[in-house]
Amino acid sequence: MIPRSEYEETVRAALREDAPSGDPFGSSFPADGSGAFIACADGVLCGGPVAEEVFRQVDPSVTVSFVPEGVRVAPGDRVGEASGPVDALLRGERVALNFLQRLSGVATATALYAERVAGYGTRLLDTRKTTPLLRALEKYAVRVGGGTNHRFSLSDGVLIKENGIRAAGGIPEALAAARRSAHHLLRVEVEVETLQEAEIAVRAGADAVLLDNMTPAMVREAVSRFGGEVFLEASGGIHLGNIEEYARTGVAGIAVGAITHSAPALDISFELAR
């Protein structure tokens, strides 16, 4: 689960964005009512606690419940229920659905990729290619879908990419600069595009190497040569059609930005009882 402190302020900001001056129509219905959240597509449900927080902030008297996080859903499945003042249900439904659909979409996309690498011992990793201010929630959805989180922020570890290498004047120079500036507990990873660069990074003392846009054959060679010395991950140009081929190389991790930046929302509706 994800602690409420990770999304409480995000929910508050979303509600303020959606109805900065209240709901002039919904406030006309003070009576109590109930409704159901219905899945309209196959997928993995994620975001129930966040949707519950939406209604808690709108009106604490609203009662909300959802099926467990990570449950597989199909069209027509009743995935949650809400009851309370109708004006509160109308006020919170869109924001709750926005979170549910987005997070379920990320969890669903992650699950599709995770299924392809299951059994190979390869970690499916996310990236920092997330929606601004929704990183904690989207990375939570990755975990729900069966993926593993990469570093959360720039503060959590050093990943020296192409521009960093250029700025430093080379891979050894970039690693030396990282060792000088980072504390001793931070791992330092280097992104490389060739096997020659991978060898330079390993010999210069990298803790991990990101094999960027390499073919499966190149990744397999890198695993054979350096897999026993450093953590290797593959990234770039990897999609559902070829991720299993990369997993077969024995690489320790595969990072896929698409599970967050390109995940389609899962279609979920909220229907008031008549």
Instruction: Identify the CATH number of the domain in which residue 209 sits.
Output: 3.20.20.70
pLDDT of residue 130: 97
Looking at the fold, whether 129 and 242 belong to one and the same domain comes out as yes
Looking at the fold, whether 110 and 126 belong to one and the same domain comes out as no
Looking at the fold, whether 140 and 248 belong to one and the same domain comes out as yes
Domain count across the chain:
2
Looking at the fold, whether 127 and 237 belong to one and the same domain comes out as yes
Helix (H, G, I), strand (E, B) or coil at 158: strand
Looking at the fold, whether 156 and 185 belong to one and the same domain comes out as yes
Q: Which of 53, 69, 87, 212 is catalytic?
A: 212
Report the chain's C-alpha Rg in angstroms: 22
Q: Which of 161, 187, 225, 248 is catalytic?
A: 161
Element (H, E) at 226: helix 216-226
Residue 123 annotated to the active site = no
How far, in whole angstroms, is CA 181 from its chain's centroid?
Answer: 29
Looking at the fold, whether 164 and 131 belong to one and the same domain comes out as yes
Residue 212 annotated to the active site = yes
pLDDT of residue 138: 98
Q: Residue 167 sits in which domain range? A: 120-261
Residue 129 annotated to the active site = yes
Q: Which of 191, 207, 233, 244 is catalytic?
A: 191
Q: What strands lie across the sheet with 268-272, from one edge to the other?
A: 63-66, 78-85, 32-39, 268-272
- pTM of full prediction above 0.75: yes
Amino acid of residue 57: Q
Tokens 């210069």, residue located: 204
pLDDT of residue 227: 96
Domain at 75, CATH number = 3.90.1170.20
Looking at the fold, whether 97 and 142 belong to one and the same domain comes out as no
Looking at the fold, whether 217 and 182 belong to one and the same domain comes out as yes
Residues of the chain with pLDDT under 50: none
Cα–Cα dist 163/166, whole Å: 5
Q: What is the DSSP letter of 155?
A: G
Angle at which helices 8-18 and 48-58 cross, to 10° = 60
Q: Which of 129, 151, 179, 225 is catalytic?
A: 129
Q: Which of 94, 128, 187, 225 is catalytic?
A: 94
Helix (H, G, I), strand (E, B) or coil at 141: helix
Element (H, E) at 254: strand 253-255
For 133-165, b where at least 16 C-beta lie within 10 A, e where not — what string? ebbbbbbbbbbbbbbbbbbeeeeebbbbeeebb
Mention every residue, 6+ apart, whose C-beta is less than 8 A from residue 210. 159, 189, 190, 191, 192, 233, 234, 235, 255
Residue 161 annotated to the active site = yes
pLDDT of residue 25: 84
Looking at the fold, whether 89 and 176 belong to one and the same domain comes out as no
Residue 94 annotated to the active site = yes
Looking at the fold, whether 128 and 68 belong to one and the same domain comes out as no
Looking at the fold, whether 110 and 207 belong to one and the same domain comes out as no
pLDDT of residue 200: 98
Looking at the fold, whether 126 and 254 belong to one and the same domain comes out as yes
pLDDT of residue 26: 73
